[in-house]
Structures are given as C-alpha cells and as structure tokens.
Structure 1
Amino acid sequence: MAHGDVTCPLVYAVCAAVLGMLQFGFNTGVINAPRAFIERFIQDSYEVDDTGSGLLFSVTVSIFAVGGMFGCPLASWLAERRGRRDALLYNAAFGVVAGALMGFSKLAGSVEMLIIGRLLIGVNCGFATTASPTYVSEVAPLRLRGAFGTVNQLAVAIGLVGGQALGIDQLLGSDDGWPWLLGLAVIPSALQCAMLPFAPESPRYLLLARRDEEAARRVLTTFRSSSDVHDEINDMHAEDAAERQEEKFTVSKLVTTRALRTPLVIGIVMHLSQQLGGINTVLYYSTTIFETAGLEENSARMATIGVGGVLAVMALVSIPLMDRLGRRTLQLAGLGGMAVSSVLMTVAFFTYHDNFTMSVMAVVFTLLFVAFFGVGPSSIPWMIMSELFGQGARSAAVSIGALVNWFANFIVGLTFIPMLEALGNWVYLPYTGLLIIFFVFTYVKLPETKNRTIEEVTALFKK
C-alpha cells in the first residue's frame, strides 16, 4: 500500500462504522446456544407445552429478520437526509435500547420484552447492513475500496464467533446467564455512540449532497493525512456528473422496466440462494443440529463455535479468490459444495446412532457446508447487484435485493424448527433440492462480471 493510503483517522472511522456489522454477526449467532433456557422461560411465563414454546422460540429467532426488513430502507432514507455518520450514530443509540430490552426481559418476567428487543435489534442490524458498507466505501481510497469492503464481512464473522463462544456453559450458556448474553448487544452500540462523534462525515456526502466542497476537502485531508486531494475531489465531481446524466429509477419503475427485468431476476435469485440454501438454519440452530447428531449438550455448544470460526476464515480466503476466479465460478462452487455437504450431513444424521465417528462426521460435514457458503454465496449476492446495474438503477436494485434477503431469512428462521420436528433426519433435503435449482439457474443465467464494465454486462443481456 502506498504511503498515506491507510491512516489512523481512516482506520478509526472504519472501526467505528463496522461495529454495526459486528452487532449483526453477534445477534445472528447469539440466539443459538441458549435455546433450551429461553424455551424454559417461555414455558414458565405462558404455561405452554414443548410445541408451543418451540413455536414461540422460532418467532423470537425469526422476528430479527422482520426488523431487518424495516431497517434497510430506513437507513437509505436517513443517510441521505442526515448524513452517513449521523445516521450510524442514531442507529447505535437505538441499538442500546434494543439490547437493554433483551437483557432485562427475564428480570421483568416478560417474553414480550424479549421478542420486541429482538425485533428492534433486527431493525438496528438491517440499518447497519446498509449504512455501514456505504460509509466505509465512501471514506476508503478508491483502489482499496474492495479490501476495506471485506472488513464488513470480517466484522460479521467476528461477531458471530463472539456470540457463539460466549454461549458455552462455562461462560453465559446457563439459565441465569442467557439474559446477560443477549444483553451484551448493548456494548457494540454503546461503543459506537462513544466513537462516532469523533469520526468525520463521509467526504462524498459533504461534497455531493451538502455541496460543501471546503468541508469535503478538510475531511479528505484528515483521512489521507495529505493536502493533495485535488484529484479525488475531481473524481467525485466526474462521478456525480455521470450519475446526473443517467435516468433515475425508483423501485416501482425498476420492477416494471422490461430491459432490466433479466438482471433484476438474477439478482433476486442470488439473494434467495443465500438464504433458502439453509445457511441460517446452521447459524441460528447449529447447537440443536449437533445435539440431534448425537453430541452432548456442552460438546454441541463447543462445536457451534467452529461455525463462526469457519466463516471468519473463509471471509479472509475469499478476498484474493474473488478477483482471481470470478464471481460466477465462486458462486457455482459454493452452491454445488453446499448441496453435496447437505447430502453428506443427512447420511451422517441417519448413521450416527451408537457411532461416535459418524457424530463427528456430522459436525465436519456441517462445517464443510458453512465453508462452501463462505466461498461465494456469503458475499456475492450483495456484490452482484452493484455490478449488474448502472448508477441510475443501482440504489433501487440494492434495496430490492436487501428486502428479498431479509424476507427469506425470516422464512427460514420461522420454519426450520417445525420442519425439523416434521422431517427429522430428512430436514436438509428440501434445502438440497433448492440448492440444486439455484446451481442450475446460476450456471444458465449468471454472466461473469469480473473486470467488465456495466456497459459490457448490459450488452451481454441484450444478446
């Protein structure tokens, strides 16, 4: 990296922003281990049987995604009106309230507080998944934008591992500890509240939305530790001029524009493949899955930490592969590997009885499933929307993709426990079938976008 590319003010601002993505990872992974204790709390509060408490736990898990569906568009709206930095700050304050509701739910004897807290932290995390990458991409130097973008995925993986690790018996995986475990969501948001006031606003927002070139130059000088920012300011002006010449698309206009229908369908299917392939069944319920495969409760929780660890490693591995092998190749490899792994998981579930080796293999195949997800389907659906659409339609396309992603996340979170009870060891076969369909669709429809301009990609669709 050239001198001045990575400076202390830049690193500080990026760290403050990606705490929201760490929050997203934490709240995805944290609900996994304490399932038994939360269900007992639900039973004590409502006097329901195992089926009723299982259903209410599924609602508690999946309502997080409902919040995410509201958080994404809210972030886009607020970031345009109040700026990227201030939008992140308001969201952080909101996260403190959500974490407190979950943390004090047992003390108050209120399942409603727990569910509302999960809904609100979902809004917070949906907001972060839109606002944090926007801020990071706008403060990073152009040639390092991709590398800084992967910091978001890394923060998610670190949050996931943290949430899962804290859920083991020796730490907070207990009847008394689980409210503290969920309440720890206060910490990333409180840290953001303390850090963000000292992080500068996005220079791109200051220049193009506020029309304050002097402030943009000041901020860029701080970020680059150099007063030589003339070229970067000019590049922003040129980008803005090009964007103004392009037709602006609303969500409704994008959906009804015939010429853009094919890339929109491809983008939506990519997002569906990320969620309906079954990855969140592992992220939300891996402890339950490992117990089903014959592991003792404590061993299952320890194995769950491996899930987040594998995702963190794959986030790093996929960085150099993305531009070397291309999006299409990695997406196909990921979907194909997940399909094969889910079949092997099913075989292991049927043969683990009185066979410790097959119990271990069930864990290994589950981790392999997660690893293949990390190869491509983890990040490519989020990336592909910006590579399939020009600037005029990109914002609307990304919004549609995010909404579809969170909705599919909600469906998977809500239906997995009833599916597990109905299908038992066959539970992963529906996901296997969907993965095969997504693989075939990707093979037939997805063009390679690596090193291609929007004009070149658009020309492929016209052919």
Structure 2
Amino acid sequence: MNEQKSQKSFLSTIILVSTFGGLLFGYDTGVVNGALPYMAEKDQLNLNAFTEGLVASSLLLGAALGAVFGGRLSDYVGRRKNIIFLAVLFFFATLGCTLAPNVSVMVFSRFMLGIAVGGASVTVPTYLAEMSPAEKRGRMVTQNELMIVSGQLLAFTFNAILGTTMGDSSHVWRYMLAIAAVPAVLLFFGMLRVPESPRWLVSKGKSEHALGVLKKIRPEKRAQSELAEIEAALNRESEIKKATFKDLTVPWVRRIVFIGIGIAIVQQITGVNSIMYYGTEILKNAGFETKAALIGNIANGLISVLATFVGIWLLGKVGRRPMLLTGLIGTTSALLLIGIFSTLLQGSAALPYVVLALTVTFLGFQQGAISPVTWLMLSEIFPLRLRGLGMGVTVLCLWIANFFVGLTFPILLESIGLSSTFYIFVGLGLVSITFVKKFLPETKGLTLEQLENNFRNYKSGNIQNGVSADSTDEKTGLV
C-alpha cells in the first residue's frame, strides 16, 4: 500500500513539474493581452495596428518552428532533456522581451520565446502521454491544458493588478512580462529531478532503464506487461529505421497526419486566440476604459480555468467526437451573437457587458471541450517512432493558423469592425463542424498501441470510429 502511494505521489510530481511548461505557454501567450495597450504608447514602442499584430504574432511564428524542431529534438535527445533546454530558452527570451528598447528587439525576443512555447506545446503533452497509464491518459495529458489556461489567468490577473496600481508608469508592461521568468526557473530545476519517458528509453534500446522508470510509477506486474507492449509495438515498426518526412507518404500514416492537421487548425480558427491575445482590445472596442477592460478580462481567464476542470472530468465520461462537436457548436453560436449584438447595441452602455458575457460563454465551450480534446488527441494518435515528427508537423499547422489569426485580427478590427470580424470566424466555425463530423475518429478507451493498430487496419467506411472492419492489414506501406 505504501509503495502504491509512493508511485502515485511520484507520478503526481512528474505531472506538476512538467506542466510548468504549459504554465509558461499560457502566461507568455496571455500576458501580451494587457501589455499591448501600454506598449502602444508613443513614449514606449509606439505601435500601430500592424506592429501590434506583429508583436503578438511573432511569438506564434516562432512557435510554429519550435513545434517542428522541438518534436525532432525530443526524439533525438529525449523528452526530459528537451524540456530542460526549453526552460533555459524561456528564461532568456523573457529577459529579452522585458528589456526590449524598440519594436525590432521585442519582435525578435518574442520570436525566440515562441520557439520555446512551440517546443513545449509538442514535448510536454508527448511526455505526459508516454508516462501515463492508458486509463488515466486523458486526465493526465489535459493537466497540461489546465496549466496553460491557469498561466493565462495569472497573466490576466497580474496585468489587472499592475495596470490598476502602476498604470501611470509608462514601463508597467515590462513588469508584466518579467514575471514569466519565475516559472521558467522552477521548470528547469524541477525537470532535473524527474525521469525520462520509458517509451523513449525503449526506442533507444534502454529497456532495463525503462523498466526501472515504470516500476517507480506502476505496480511491478503492470510495469512488466507495459514494457512488453512497448517493445512489441517497437518491433512492429522496425522497418521505419528513422522517422522522416518521406514516411508521411504512407497511406495510413498520411491519414493520421491529415486528421491531426485538421484537429490543430480547427482549434485555432474558432477565433479563441483573438480573445486570449486581444481580449482587452475587444472590450475597449466595445466601450470599456483600459483599466476596466483589464479587470473584465480576468473573467475570461477564470472561466477558462473552470471550464478546463469540467473538460477534464468530461473526458472520462464522454467520447472525443461528441465533446468536440458540442464545443464547436457553442463557440460558433457565441461568436454569431457577438457579431449581432455589436451591430444592434452599437454605442450602448450595455454593449461592453454583453460582449464580455459572450466571450466568457465562448471560452466556456472552447476550454471545456475543444482545447482538452485537441491536445489529448494530438498526443495519442501517432505511433511511437513517428510521434515526435507527427506532433511537430500537426502542431506546426496549429501555430501557423494561430499566427495568421494573431497578425490579422487587430488589422481586421480596425478596418471592418468588431461585428464583421467575428462573422468571419462564424463561417470558419461552420467549416470546422463539418470536418469533425465527417473525418474525426473516436480514440477514447484505447491504448496507444491499439490506436496504432486501428489506424494500420483502417478501411474506408469506418471513419467515424476509427476501427477497422476486419483485422486484415492494408498492404500499403509500413507493417
């Protein structure tokens, strides 16, 4: 009994430490929300609509590259070492942003920070998926999503506190940015104390070491059987000597990548990050003063955290497909109402409160359904030897979509207004609902190895559940 408690405690420590990467992800993407109005002042960085979008989105472009190279690097050096490297990069890039004397230095530093964010967005969920038992994988991986939204809530809260107490200081945005250095230090020292992924160790021929790690977080019999399952999966994939982009041409692998890219883009074109990056600007546009908008924006962060708790609970009760469909219908409806009321109530004192209520509703559906399913499915659909590369390619597409949303939103807001901008996202939401309904497989309740087998044996006509009509392997490539 004591041994089981020790195993659970150690696994909890692993989750807590590694998800500081998610906390940094959230804080660094959310802090710009409150910092931008102060950066834009003439005696600071003097931003216009384009440079405002560039400062926000340069992180996202870096994240796109970080996602690709982070996945490859984690395959080469290990998940743990890669997260340690990312912690160092988080720290120094944060200092660069904090001390930036002009737009050029800020954009460069945000780009480097983005590389760390992108690397974390691939490596941390992969590490968590490979450390977790199959029946708890959904809950463990979505702990990272919880830390992401917690980081955003912290950013919004510190923005509001600093904005209301130090808003008269022209350098207040520098203090907002500097806070991110603290979790970077905690991530670095914490990762020095946790083990490498056993799945990665087996892939490098270190099965004894992998077994030792598994025994620290599983009962002994379970550790032995899981090691055998990992080794069997690795042997089945032995024809793939090293994962390369050429492997993505194999039909069953290509189908996984198509689904992964689709899930990644769907999460972004809901318009979630227009609210997470520019929530303060949206509320100001609706009629709030800057300080009131900063305080109101805390509600967006708070509902994101609460909804993520609900999402984690739902993942154990509901399938991935129905969760994603429900979330998309909810977010699309909320955006449609924002567009309608922004026209009907234009100039009204009620408009900013209506917009705030609808952004909170939007985020309830987004963080309670769409985001948990996105990161969980991206971490679980790829076979072991392709996991780093596959995650990198799909999350690259996620960050590129994110980049275009981040860059164009302030420009659209200035040129066509709040209402028309959100109508564009409504149209994209309808496209997303169609994609999920037609192409998304169900992955709930299956081990990573069972999922791989189902994708290998996939036959047309079973696309909704992702399970083969029979057990005959397609002779289309990798076996």
TM-score above 0.5, yes or no: yes
1:335 aligned to 312, 323, 328, which one? 328
2:70 aligned to 75, 82, 97, which one? 75
Bigger mean CA deviation after superposition, 265-274 or 366-375: 265-274
- Alignment of 1:157 onto 2:158: no
Report deviation, 1:141. Answer: 4.0
The corresponding residue for 2:421 is: 427
- Alignment of 1:286 onto 2:279: yes
The corresponding residue for 1:241 is: 232
Which runs of no fewer than 5 residues in structure 2 stay unpaired? Answer: 462-479
Which runs of no fewer than 5 residues in structure 1 stay unpaired? Answer: none
Q: Is the 8 A contact 1:172 1:181 kept in 2?
A: no
Report deviation, 1:409. Answer: 0.6
Written as runs of structure 1 = structure 2, the 5 A alignment for 1:16-55 is 16-40=17-41, 43-44=42-43, 53-55=48-50
The corresponding residue for 1:444 is: 438
- Alignment of 1:202 onto 2:197: yes
Q: Is the 8 A contact 2:141 2:375 kept in 1?
A: no
Alpha-carbon deviations, 1:81-129, whole Å to 9, x = none? Answer: 3332222112111111111111112xxx333222222111111111111
AA in 2 matched with 1:101: G
AA in 1 matched with 2:34: A
AA in 1 matched with 2:59: F
Alpha-carbon deviations, 1:237-276, whole Å to 9, x = none? Answer: 3322223213538453354334554443333222111112
Report deviation, 1:288. Answer: 0.6
* Structure 1 pair 446–203 and aligned structure 2 pair: CA distance change class (3 A): closer
> 2:32 aligns to what SS in structure 1?
coil
Q: Distance in 1 between matches of 2:198 and 2:459?
A: 35
Q: Is the 8 A contact 1:96 1:189 kept in 2?
A: yes
The corresponding residue for 1:462 is: 460
TM-score by length of 2: 0.86
- Aligned-residue RMSD, C-alpha: 2.6
> 2:196 aligns to what SS in structure 1?
coil
Q: Distance in 2 between matches of 1:7 and 1:234?
A: 18
* Structure 1 pair 370–172 and aligned structure 2 pair: CA distance change class (3 A): farther
Q: Is the 8 A contact 1:388 1:458 kept in 2?
A: no
Written as runs of structure 1 = structure 2, the 5 A alignment for 1:231-270 is 231-246=222-237, 248=240, 250=243, 252-270=245-263
Q: Distance in 2 between matches of 1:460 and 1:211?
A: 32
AA in 1 matched with 2:439: K
AA in 1 matched with 2:410: I
The corresponding residue for 2:469 is: none
Bigger mean CA deviation after superposition, 60-69 or 377-386: 377-386
User: Alignment length, in residue pairs?
Assistant: 450
Bigger mean CA deviation after superposition, 322-331 or 256-265: 256-265
1:370 aligned to 363, 367, 379, which one? 363
The corresponding residue for 2:291 is: 298
Report deviation, 1:459. Answer: 5.6
Q: Is the 8 A contact 1:449 1:457 kept in 2?
A: no
* Structure 1 pair 94–395 and aligned structure 2 pair: CA distance change class (3 A): closer
Q: Is the 8 A contact 2:40 2:48 kept in 1?
A: yes
AA in 2 matched with 1:37: Y
- Alignment of 1:401 onto 2:390: no
* Structure 1 pair 86–435 and aligned structure 2 pair: CA distance change class (3 A): same
- Alignment of 1:309 onto 2:302: yes
AA in 1 matched with 2:146: L
> 2:40 aligns to what SS in structure 1?
helix
- Alignment of 1:360 onto 2:353: yes
Q: Is the 8 A contact 1:76 1:131 kept in 2?
A: yes
Q: Distance in 2 between matches of 1:433 and 1:367?
A: 20
The corresponding residue for 1:384 is: 377
Q: Is the 8 A contact 1:5 1:141 kept in 2?
A: no
Bigger mean CA deviation after superposition, 419-428 or 348-357: 348-357
Q: Is the 8 A contact 2:138 2:376 kept in 1?
A: no
Q: Is the 8 A contact 1:386 1:398 kept in 2?
A: yes
Q: Distance in 1 between matches of 2:307 and 2:260?
A: 22
Q: Distance in 1 between matches of 2:317 and 2:428?
A: 28
The corresponding residue for 1:133 is: 125
TM-score by length of 1: 0.89
> 2:164 aligns to what SS in structure 1?
coil
How high is the sequence identity, in percent, across the aligned residues?
Answer: 26
Q: Distance in 2 between matches of 1:37 and 1:422?
A: 22
The corresponding residue for 2:468 is: none
Q: Distance in 1 between matches of 2:83 and 2:376?
A: 21
Q: Distance in 2 between matches of 1:413 and 1:307?
A: 18
Alpha-carbon deviations, 1:304-351, whole Å to 9, x = none? Answer: 111111111111101232243311111111111111111111122223
> 1:324 aligns to what SS in structure 2?
coil
Q: Distance in 1 between matches of 2:441 and 2:207?
A: 40
Q: Distance in 1 between matches of 2:154 and 2:303?
A: 13
The corresponding residue for 2:181 is: 186
